Amino acid sequence: MPAIKIGKEWRIASEDIRSSAKPPIIKSLPPDHPVAASASGSSIRWSSRATDRHSVAFCPQAADVYALEAAFFRAGAEANCQMMKGCWWQRPAELAERYADSDLDIEELEREGYLTVVDLQAAYQSGGSRAAVGLWQQALADCQTATLWAAGSPAPQCFSQGGTAAMLDFEAQLDRALTNQPIVGLCSYNLADLTTGAYLLITALARRHSSLLLVADDQLLSFSPNETSAE
């Protein structure tokens, strides 16, 4: 960067500092470009309104979870924000292949320092909900951009004997931890995993998040306390 030395100090113009900022890995796409396509051929566009601190999303099948997360991380990269992916039932080693189906190079995001992958399942098994929530908090503490984009995809079977009760307790703890934090958080659920008392469970999960997202008919529908929208 161009600079002027005055005595023992170097002076750099503020516009030169701004121009040297790290460029986004994924450039902005035209509005009609599908943000992500799942292996089944559906397309999901991330909603510009879906930027709440802790959203819950319900997807028809596992492939839609990957497609939604790919759209989420693409939006985070376009916003030039640091990101975290937390794995529950998903295997970290398989993420690159599954996201590649949605045209997202997660390995490049990791190499460039934009994205960190953490194992929430292992953390929960070793230290319970507090340890899993702690990984979200650590990602916030380590974040060097104005906002952290973070996503996880829990399921009742990830919580051992505790099942749905333990899962709801984790989500409640996480929601409290994310209150007033600079984060766009996403918890995606595969509806096929919510087989016991599904309606009551979906309602309980919605109450533990700041907004609700639904993937239906190749669309992402977003709901918040103040407005309802579809994109």
Q: Can you give the pLDDT at residue 17? A: 56
Q: Can you give the pLDDT at residue 42? A: 47
* pLDDT surpassing 60 at residue 196: yes
Residue 88 and residue 153 in contact, taking contact as beta carbons nearer than 8 Å? yes
Please compute the mean of the pLDDT values over residues 65-73 and round it to a whole number.
93
Please compute the mean of the pLDDT values over residues 88-105 and round it to a whole number.
89
Residue 87 and residue 132 in contact, taking contact as beta carbons nearer than 8 Å? no
* pLDDT surpassing 80 at residue 34: no
Within 10 angstroms of residue 93's Cβ, the number of other Cβ atoms is: 9
Secondary structure element (H or E) that encloses residue 184, with its range: strand 183-190
The domain locations on the chain are 35-230
Lowest pLDDT segment from 10-24, 48-62, 129-143, 192-206: 10-24
The burial of 20, by beta-carbon neighbours within 10 Å (0-12 exposed, 13-18 middle, 19 or more buried), is given as exposed
Q: Can you give the pLDDT at residue 226? A: 43
User: Distance (Å, rounded) from C-alpha 83 to C-alpha 138?
Assistant: 12
State the fold for domain 35-230: Rossmann fold (3.40.50)
**Residue that has been written with the tokens 């639904």 in this structure:** 214
- How many alpha carbons lie under 13 Å from residue 195 in its C-beta half-sphere? 4
The burial of 1, by beta-carbon neighbours within 10 Å (0-12 exposed, 13-18 middle, 19 or more buried), is given as exposed
- Does residue 113 come out as left (phi exceeding 0), alpha (psi in the -120 to 50 range) or beta? left
Please compute the mean of the pLDDT values over residues 154-166 and round it to a whole number.
92
Structure tokens given for 172: 């409640």
- pTM, whole model, 2 decimals? 0.79
The burial of 191, by beta-carbon neighbours within 10 Å (0-12 exposed, 13-18 middle, 19 or more buried), is given as middle
User: Distance (Å, rounded) from C-alpha 91 to C-alpha 58?
Assistant: 20
Interaxial angle between packed helices 163-178 and 120-142, expressed in degrees from 0 to 180 and rounded to the nearest 10: 10
Q: Can you give the pLDDT at residue 90? A: 94
